[in-house]
Chains A and B, each alone.
Chain A
Amino acid sequence: MRPDQEAQARQMRARAVVRKTFGTLWTYAVLLAIFVFAVFPFFWTLAISITDKTVASGISIYSFPASLLPRHLTLSNFVEVFNTFKLGKYLWNSVAIAGLTVVGTLLVSALAAYPLARLNFPLKNLIFGAILATLVLPQETSFIVNVLTLRDLHILGTYWGVVVPIISTAFGIFVMRQAYLAIPATLLEAARIDGASEMQILSRIMIPLSLPSLTALGIFTLVGIWNTYFWPSLALITNQDLYPLSVAVLTLKGQFNYDPFNVAAGAMVMMLPILLVFLLAQRFFMRGLEGAVKG
């Protein structure tokens, strides 16, 4: 290689390094910008919720940049919403509704998926097809009919009214079916030879071996129901005492219109548990549907 060629090559390499470094920096700049975009509403609300509103006269959430970085911190807003707004009641409603929904979904899905995965019986494919078809059914009018049905069943305005219509889902059954299909057939055969009943096979083999999928399904269901606004607001239209936080937080906004600090505190009480669940179980979410299927 001639010296000038060598120099040229070195120069090119150097340029490539510079370009790569610049590229990486640029990538991180973009990553950071999107990060700020994604989480700043959350952080701002957090900042408002811990602002000590009693310090300065005429403190406002709109006095920037002070409201983004509060100087005097307090937890008294949280105490106040719990005391005056009975936030504990709504928190309990959320827990009860979420608990019933998760348990119900797991139970119904784990039961229904077993025959679809492991038993042969007439009309099996038709039934599985019908279950999957619910994913594409036009449901624009369903909420109307469901409210009328709930009233006829006398469970409108109860926890059950919220929960019962939403626990049997194609998604849940599909996830559990995939989990059962992944379990070796020899295990089942051995159990059958030992005289185990189908119910025993389900409870002693299939379910314990599908725990990762059950967990994933449980977490997805939990996050979904905790955050849902529309359906609970409708199913509890006649009994707002049972509103979960997702609905009550807007009532809170109506009642504390003049006090955004309390509203922010209420919002955080609703947000933090779900954020914690998310941080602990990230991997399920980051893999999408696959996360639920593979656990």
Chain B
Amino acid sequence: MTRAATTFIAYGMLFPALILMGVFTFYPVIYGAYLGFSHYTAADFGAHNAPRWVGLENFHTVFADPLFQTGLLNSLKYLAVVPVLQLVSLAVAVLVNQKLPFIAFFRASYYIPVITSISLAAVMWDWIYAKDGLINWSLEALHLLQKSSAFGYLLNTDTAIWAIMFVTFWKGFGYYMVLYLAGLQGIPAELEEAATLDGASRSQIFWRITVPLMRPTILLCSLISTLAAIRVLEEIIVFTNGGPLNSTYTGLMYVYSKAFGLDFNYGVASAAGLVIALVGFVLSYLNFRLTRESGGEGA
């Protein structure tokens, strides 16, 4: 077959994938960036007006908006879930990485939250977090809580965001457990056996052997987890829509509600999205640096 024919066939087969990616993945990034510097609202869109270049005006609007500041701060707060989630997932992976009867059953059951839709999680956890819900009932039964001082966890400005983060944790630990399990296959069993013979405790083995050897996987997982945290949106929409009193209003929630809430200001929304993207980029870089440096000390 001639080279030209091969090229023709190759591009023919790639065509559907490339055109779709071009239109729905690359174009939105470029056009979205352009919108960030443009005046563009639903009214313009309806009237078929082109976006009008306004330079940094949208960014001024965004930074001057206290709601955006609240959102950005809450997104950063959400990062607190990352270290807990990663450490626990790694520990659980180590726990289920043993040859024991029924271990496959436990492993699989830990994955069930991962395949549970966030909207179902919202339905279920809403009942758990309610004032008369499961958590408060348990605490009251254990005499840890007076009925009179009980409150709904999603209704309290101090607890709502943590309650949602806890669901992220619940939904996520099985996922990272699987990724860590794959990484653990690479650690020779002899290392741990030798350490056990030397009288090392489980926690010593975990901190001195497992964690350092798993650094590449931890780096990857923390990166995924960090980016997911800074971009948190779905959880917020289904649980609280940003309330109570904007205490769960995140950065991307700002983007979403500027675009499809009551404003329909695509320009300002895109500008805010770009800021979040930049924050995500900086965090990825920091994450990379941090994991490398702490690795340097450990070795």
- Whether the Cβ atoms of A267 and B120 lie closer than 8 Å is yes
B279 CB to nearest A CB, Å: 10
Nearest A residue to B125 via CB reads A41
Interface: B142 (CB within 8 A): no
With A139-B29, A246-B117, A271-B120 in contact, do A112 and B238 touch (Cβ < 8 Å)? no
Answer whether residue A258 sits at the interface, using C-beta atoms and an 8 A cutoff.
no
Q: Which residue of B lies closest to A263 (CB)?
A: B123
Q: Are B120 and A35 in contact (CB under 8 A)?
A: no
Cross-interface CB contact of B21 among A131, A202, A253, A278, cutoff 8 Å = A131
Residues of B within 8 A of A120 (CB): 6
Residues of B contacting A287 in the complex (Cβ-Cβ under 8 angstroms): 178, 182
B115 contacts A223, C-beta separation under 8 Å: yes
Q: If the complex has contacts A141-B28, A145-B35, are A285 and B111 also in contact, measured as CB distance less than 8 A?
A: yes
CB proximity of A218 to chain B, nearest CB, Å: 15
Known: A115-B13, A229-B238, A288-B179. A141 touches B255 (CB 8 A): yes
- CA–CA, A201 to B88, complex, Å? 47
When C-beta atoms are compared, the residue in chain B nearest to A112 turns out to be: B17
Q: Please determine whether A121 and B11 come into contact, CB atoms closer than 8 angstroms.
A: yes
Write out, one digit per residue, whether chain B residues 270-281 have a CB within 8 A of any chain A CB (1) or not (0): 100110110011
Smallest CB–CB gap between A14 and chain B, Å?
Answer: 18
Report the minimal beta-carbon distance from A282 to chain B, rounded to whole angstroms: 5
Neighbouring B residues of A168 by C-beta, 8 Å = 16-18, 20-21, 24-25
In the complex where A115-B14, A127-B18, A141-B28 touch, is A290 in contact with B182 (Cβ < 8 A)?
Answer: yes
* Interface: A44 (CB within 8 A): yes
Q: Give chain A interface residues in 244-282, CB to chain B under 8 Å.
A: 246-247, 249-250, 253, 260, 263-264, 267, 270-271, 274-275, 278-279, 282
Please, how many angstroms separate the alpha-carbon atoms of A145 and B92 in the complex? 40
A148 and B10 CA atoms in complex are apart in Å by 31
Instruction: Say yes or no: A250 contacts B122, CB within 8 Å.
Output: yes
B53 at the interface (CB under 8 A from A): no
B72 at the interface (CB under 8 A from A): no
A165 touches B24 (CB 8 A): yes
A119 proximal to B (CB < 8 A)? yes
Of the candidates A48, A119, A141, A164, the one whose C-beta lies within 8 Å of that of B273 is A141
Q: Give B26-66 as 1s and 0s: 1 = Cβ < 8 Å from A's Cβ atoms.
A: 11110111011000000001000000000000000000000
Q: Is the CB of B18 within 8 A of A270?
A: no
Cα A62 to Cα B140 with chains together (Å): 13
One digit per residue, 1 when the CB lies within 8 angstroms of any chain A CB and 0 when it does not, for chain B 119-161 equals 1111111111010111001000100000000000000000000
Chain B residues within 8 Å of A112, by CB = 13-14, 16-18
Distance from A44 Cβ to chain B, minimum over Cβ atoms (Å): 7
Of A107, A146, A264, A286, the most chain B CB neighbours within 10 A belong to: A286
How far, in angstroms, from A247 to B104 measured CA to CA in the complex? Answer: 32
Instruction: Give which listed residue, A24, A109, A192, contacts B17 with CB less than 8 A.
Output: A109
Q: How many residues belonging to B are interface residues under a CB distance threshold of 8 Å?
A: 88
Stretch from B95-103, B204-212, B289-297 that touches the partner = B95-103
CA distance A126 to B85 in the complex (A): 36
Please classify the interface of chain B as helix (H, G, I), strand (E, B), loop, or mixed, using the class held by over half of its residues.
helix
- Please name all residues of chain B whose beta carbon is closer than 8 Å to the beta carbon of A64 when the two chains form the complex: 134, 137, 141
Q: How many A-B residue pairs have CB under 8 A?
A: 257
Q: Are A229 and B111 in contact (CB under 8 A)?
A: no
In the bound assembly, the distance between CA atoms of A62 and B136 in angstroms comes to 10
Name the CB-closest residue of B to A288.
B178
What interface size band does chain A fall in?
Answer: 35 or more
Contact status B255-A134, CB under 8 Å = no
What are 18 contact pairs spanning A and B, CB under 8 A? A28-B100, A38-B113, A41-B116, A112-B14, A116-B14, A120-B6, A122-B7, A138-B281, A144-B260, A144-B269, A149-B23, A165-B20, A229-B118, A246-B119, A278-B115, A279-B108, A288-B179, A288-B181
Report A's interface with B, CB cutoff 8 A.
24, 27-28, 30-31, 34-35, 37-39, 41-42, 44-45, 48, 60-62, 64, 107-109, 111-112, 114-116, 119-122, 124, 127, 130-131, 134, 137-149, 164-168, 173, 192, 198-199, 202, 223, 226-230, 233-234, 237, 246-247, 249-250, 253, 260, 263-264, 267, 270-271, 274-275, 278-279, 282, 285-290
Question: Which are the 5 A-B pairs with shortest beta-carbon distances?
Answer: A141-B32, A138-B277, A112-B17, A115-B10, A227-B117
Given A31-B95, A44-B124, A286-B107, 20 additional A-B pairs, CB 8 A: A30-B95, A31-B103, A38-B112, A41-B128, A62-B130, A112-B13, A112-B17, A116-B14, A124-B10, A131-B17, A139-B25, A140-B280, A141-B36, A146-B24, A168-B17, A234-B260, A250-B122, A278-B108, A282-B111, A290-B182
Interface residues of B (CB under 8 A from A): 1, 3, 6-7, 9-11, 13-14, 16-18, 20-21, 23-29, 31-33, 35-36, 45, 92, 95-96, 98, 100, 103-104, 106-128, 130, 132-134, 137, 141, 170, 174, 178-179, 181-182, 231, 233-234, 237-238, 252, 255-256, 259-260, 266, 269-270, 273-274, 276-277, 280-281
